[in-house]
Amino acid sequence: MLGAGLDVQGGITSVEKLMLDYAPPELRIHHVPTFAKGSATRNVAVFLGAIATLIQALSRNQTDLVHIHFSDRGSTFRKLILAFITLCFRKPFVLHCHGAAYREFYAQLPRVVKGLIIAGFSQCAKFIALSESWRDFYSKSFHLSPDQMVVLPNPVVLPAEVPDRSQQQTITFVFLGRIGEHGGALDAVRSVIAFPRQDKGAFDLIRAFAALPASVRAQARLVLAGNGDVEQAQTLIANLGLADRAVVHAWVNPTQRDQLLANASVFVLPSYNEGLPMSMLEAMAWELPVIVTPVGGIPEVITSERNGILVQPGNLTELIEAMKRLIQDYQLRNELGITARNTVRALDVKHYMQSMLKLYVSTLE
């Protein structure tokens, strides 16, 4: 398995960890990091180490199959190199794309770069997309056949029990994810490639919370947790006079995340781009109503007014109204939360890994 290092913060790492933790005994997975936390120099060393490990495993015939997780930007180019290496050894590989803004990223690439990507990625044995809409996009963009395509939404761990929220006096909105726009080493070449905006809407959420009527906001609090522009978010909260009602935490570990979701009332993720956000699925597993945007694979999971509320990216009026409704209407919060948990039962990680095992077996056959 080639993908982000297990110390990297984000949804891809969450999926990788679940796969490793819940792998059935028939699978022996060797995870090889291709990217890690730290400087560009360190990441060059990590990637070269991944190349060496892959070549060694393939040359010694120690690997039956290679599973490649990738996203947009530099991840695509790193994994393209690894795909070509795997092809040289005539081993099957599975591609698994998590890119939130892949449509926009791919559209900006020069034709010759697209040709290289197609030449490598079209040779995959299987391609895992997170939703039907993403399947259609990748199938067309990478010239993949229907037999190569597999739709497999991200997995989730269902808590055995969820808290009774009927007596909550304060309605707590929780946001989990990157705060501010996505950065990265490739930002240095923006003049060559116009990278898309990757923004989970944290600052929109803070401004919407501040715009709630004072009497309504007094019944609620806002908790944000993630990496990125944490200090800038704290400054905005202070400038808007929200210090007594809103707080920003740095990235939280899984135990802290579960504690936040257990204590929450509503999950909010007003993203501009998404694949299929792990944080949303985790919140749904904790029986939380969700306020999200109809981007990426989200509309294939969330039906507005049934298991969540959909608002348009950047539309503060819709976001404010959705938050106001869920503050004032316990019955709606409760019904949306129950349906949300039932929705993600099918995505339980144990079922997911059985599906993954069948995919591997069919690929090798």
Model confidence pLDDT, tens digit, residues 93-138: 999 999 999 999 999 999 999 999 999 999 999 999 999 999 999 9
Query: What is the count of structural domains for the chain?
Result: 2
Residue for token digits 């600052």? Answer: 203
Q: Would you say residue 189 has pLDDT above 80?
A: no
Q: Are residues 359 and 341 in the same domain?
A: no
Q: Are residues 108 and 254 in the same domain?
A: no
Check which CATH number belongs to the domain holding 289 and give it: 3.40.50.2000
What is the structure's pLDDT at 197? Answer: 56
Start-to-end Cα distance in the chain: 19
Q: Are residues 128 and 179 in the same domain?
A: no
> What are the Cα distances from residue 172, in Å, to 132, 158, 226, 262, 323?
33, 21, 17, 11, 10
Contacts of 296 (CB under 8 A, 6+ apart): 100, 130, 131, 133, 134, 271, 273, 274, 275, 276, 277
Q: Are residues 117 and 14 in the same domain?
A: yes
Q: Are residues 122 and 242 in the same domain?
A: no
Q: Are residues 196 and 292 in the same domain?
A: yes
Q: Would you say residue 10 has pLDDT above 80?
A: yes
pTM of the model: 0.91
Q: Are residues 225 and 264 in the same domain?
A: yes
Distance, CA of 223 to CA of 179 (rounded, Å): 12
What is the structure's pLDDT at 187? Answer: 44
What is the structure's pLDDT at 182? Answer: 59
Is 163 part of any domain? no
What is the structure's pLDDT at 188? Answer: 40
> Do residues 99 and 69 make contact, with C-beta atoms less than 8 angstroms apart?
no
> Do residues 326 and 309 make contact, with C-beta atoms less than 8 angstroms apart?
yes
Is 164 part of any domain? no
Q: Are residues 7 and 125 in the same domain?
A: yes
Residue for token digits 């993630």? Answer: 226
Q: Are residues 82 and 186 in the same domain?
A: no
Longest dimension (CA), the chain: 68
Q: Are residues 220 and 331 in the same domain?
A: yes
Is 165 part of any domain? no
Q: Are residues 233 and 320 in the same domain?
A: yes
Is 84 part of any domain? yes
Q: Would you say residue 195 has pLDDT above 60?
A: no
Mean pLDDT for the chain overall: 94
Tell me the per-residue pLDDT of 137-153, one tens digit each, with 9 for 90 and over.
999 999 999 999 999 99
Provide the 10 A C-beta neighbour count for residue 299: 16
Is 358 part of any domain? yes
> Do residues 225 and 249 make contact, with C-beta atoms less than 8 angstroms apart?
yes
Tell me the per-residue pLDDT of 309-363, one tens digit each, with 9 for 90 and over.
999 999 999 999 999 999 999 999 999 999 999 999 999 999 999 999 999 999 9
Range(s) of the domain holding residue 273: 171-346
Average pLDDT value for residue range 13-41: 95
Q: Are residues 28 and 137 in the same domain?
A: yes
How sure is the predictor about 184, in pLDDT bands with cuts at 50, 70 and 90? very low
6-10, 57-61, 290-294 — which is least confidently predicted?
6-10
What is the structure's pLDDT at 181? Answer: 77
> Do residues 1 and 69 make contact, with C-beta atoms less than 8 angstroms apart?
yes
Strand partners, 281: none
